[in-house]
Amino acid sequence: MTTTPTETAPATASPLRRLLPGAPAGRDPRGSTLLRHLAVAVFAGTLVVLVTNQLAPYQNLQVARVCAFLCVTAGHTVLVGLNGQLSLGHGALMATGAYTVALTQQALDERAVRGWWTLPASLLAGVAVTALGGLVVGLAAARLRGPYLAGVTLAVATLVPAVTTIFTGVFNGEQGLSFPAQTPPAALGAYFQPERWLAWIALAAALLTMLLLANLVRSRFGRSLVVVRDDEVAARLAGIPVARTQVLAFVVSAACAGLGGGVYAMLTATVAPGKFPLDLSLFLLMAIVIGGLGSLAGAVWGAVLLVALQDLPGLLTEHLSLSAGLAQRLEGNLALAVFGLVLIVVMLAAPGGLQGGVRALTARLRGAVRRRPATRRSPDR
């Protein structure tokens, strides 16, 4: 189950570049990688900001949610796709970040500590605490493989309601916590749309995550991740500390999930255990595989998909007029059935995920000059 058979070739091609069709192609000296990623990030960021200026409040919230999920899926896809460690527990890691941010924001607010820096500080705390959680899980995970790792992380995913109920004094049980909502700075004007401000914060977090991960993936560490995934023995022979690489991958991935969870909490200024059910963890995995495992661009697809999944129910039946009994059975269910079918069809039609499909398509459009063979390693069993 740990095998990751997609044509993850980001060791040679920057995944972030795929975000920008027609961006300057390869041939770059190694030193400019950071700069190029930075340029792409600034460009993408500006584009999104321009778009958010045209959007209504709810659409901006959707953008913000995509960005929050992107932090998580990007880190998750690096762990599962590039390092081959399956985690079904990223929902719980998100919750860790979310609760840390909520508790920090509450504590600061109670002490009347205010200022622009409080949110970044809380998010940083969220990242730190979640990274620590990732370290603990990662230490156990480094000893486990395949379904056994899946079993442990699945158990982690179900922890959130238990922990919040046991320590009700801190986490307030299943009611959860709320903290003051973020408001746009006065400099932006009295009528500045609050949702747009939220989208900008989430965007900043997502860009930062993508930028750091894109560089990490292209670094020496990024290459060791892939080597460890493909062949642990070879990795050892090459002097790569296998266990340490795996633990570190978990820590990095957890840190991203913590940031995403923190931003996710910030968007609604609430946390509750019910927001991080087992389904969320499963859907996160689904998102990165459908998006294209191991690819940061695929993580973007995945994040969009997660938001679509939340928005879909109601959209379909809203426009149908049905008899009451029938409507009641179809409402919600119809949307889920359609979504499930789409998942299956995508997975069968494009085994490399959406990004794999896009890649194949663009390669064909370019006349298939140096098309990467689409054959996959048969999973070692």
Partner 1 sequence: MERFWFLTFDGLAAGAVYAAFALALVLIWRAARVVNFAQGAMAVATAYVGYAVVSATGSYWLGLAAAILSGLALGALVERVLMRFAGPGGPLNQVIVALGLVLVIQAVLGMIFGNEYRPAPAPFDTDALTIAGVAALSPYDLWVLGAALTVVALLAVLFTRTPIGLRMRAAAFAPEVSRLLGVSVGRMLTLGWALAAAVGALAGMLVVPTGLGLHSHAMDLVFVIAFTAAVVGGLDSPVGAVVGGLLVGLILSYVTGYLGPDTTPLAVLVLLLAVLLVRPGGLFSAARARHV
Partner 2 sequence: MRTTTRRVLAAAAGLALLAALPACADDEKQAAENVPGVSDSEVVIGTHQPLTGPAAPGYSKISAATKAYFEHVNAKGGVHGRKIVYKVMDDGYNPANTENVVRKLVLDDKVFALLGGLGTPTHTNVLEFVKTQKVPDLFVASGSRNWNEPDKYPTTFGWQPDYTVEGKILASYVKREFPGAKVCHFGQNDDFGRDSLVGVEQVLGPVAAKQTYTTTNQQVGPAIGALRAAGCQVVISATIPGFTALAMGQAAGQGFKAQWVVSNVGADYTTLAAQLGDKKVILEGMVADNYLPNVADTANPWIQEFTKIHQKYNAGNPVDGNAIYGYSMAYTFVQAMLAAGPDPTREKLVEAVRKGGFRGPGLVPFRYADGVHAGYGGVRLTKVSNGVQEYFGPAYTTDDGDGAVTEFTEPPTNPPADAVPTA
Enumerate binding residues for partner 2 (CB under 8 A): 23-24, 27-29, 32, 35-36, 38-40, 42-43, 45-47, 49-50, 53, 56-59, 61, 65, 158, 161, 165, 173-176, 178, 181, 188-189, 191-193, 195-196, 268-270, 272-277, 279-280, 310-311, 313-314, 318, 323-329, 331-333, 335-336
Which among partner 1, partner 2, none contacts residue 151 (Cβ within 5 to 8 A by kind)?
A: partner 1
In the complex, the smallest distance separating the C-beta of residue 43 from partner 1, rounded to whole angstroms, is: 32
The site for partner 1 (CB under 8 A) is made up of 1-6, 80, 86, 140, 143-148, 150-152, 154-156, 158-159, 161-163, 165-166, 232, 278, 282, 285-286, 289-290, 293, 328-330, 332-337, 339-344, 347-348, 351-352, 376, 378-381
At its nearest, how many Å lie between partner 2 and the CB of residue 191?
4
Contact 76, 285 (CB under 8 A): yes
Q: Which of partner 2, partner 1, none does 193 bind, CB closer than 5 to 8 A by kind?
A: partner 2
- Residue 140: name its binding partner from partner 1, partner 2, none (Cβ under 5 to 8 Å by kind): partner 1
Residue 367 binds: one of partner 1, partner 2, none (C-beta under 5 to 8 A by kind) = none
CB under 5 to 8 A by kind: which of partner 1, partner 2, none does 58 bind? partner 2
Q: How far is the CB of 142 from partner 2 (least distance, A)?
A: 29
Choose from partner 2, partner 1, none: what does 3 bind? Cβ within 5-8 Å by kind: partner 1
> Between the CA of residue 268 and those of 186, 194, 362, what are the distances in Å?
20, 11, 38
Please say which residue, 194 or 277, places its beta carbon nearer to partner 1. Answer: 277
SS (H, E, C) the chain: CCCCCCCCCCCCCCCHHHHCCCCCCCCCCHHHHHHHHHHHHHHHHHHHHHHHHHCCHHHHHHHHHHHHHHHHHHHHHHHHHHCCCCCCCHHHHHHHHHHHHHHHHHHHHHCCCCCCCHHHHHHHHHHHHHHHHHHHHHHHHCCCCHHHHHHHHHHHHCHHHHHHHHCHHHHCHHHCEECCCCCCCHHHCCCCCHHHHHHHHHHHHHHHHHHHHHHHHHCHHHHHHHHHHHCHHHHHHCCCCHHHHHHHHHHHHHHHHHHHHHHHHHHHCEECHHHCCHHHHHHHHHHHHHHHCCCHHHHHHHHHHHHHHHHCCCHHHHCCCCCHHHHHHHCCHHHHHHHHHHHHHHHHHCCCHHHHHHHHHHHHHCCCCCCCCCCCCCCCC
**In the complex, what is the shortest distance from the CB of residue 145 to partner 1, in angstroms, rounded to a whole number?**
6
- As beta bridge partners, residue 177 has 271
State which residue, 192 or 339, has the beta carbon closest to partner 1.
Answer: 339
Nearer to partner 2, 159 or 243 (CB): 159
Instruction: List the single partner that 42 binds among partner 1, partner 2, none, CB under 5 to 8 Å by kind.
Output: partner 2
Q: How far is the CB of 141 from partner 1 (least distance, A)?
A: 10
Nearest to 85 by CA among 287, 257, 240, 293: 293
Quote the least distance from Cβ 236 to partner 2, whole Å.
Answer: 36
Question: Shortest gap between Cβ of 360 and partner 1 (angstroms)?
Answer: 13
Report in angstroms how near the CB of residue 359 gets to partner 1 at its nearest: 14
Measured from the CB atom, the residue of 323 and 378 that comes closer to partner 2 is 323
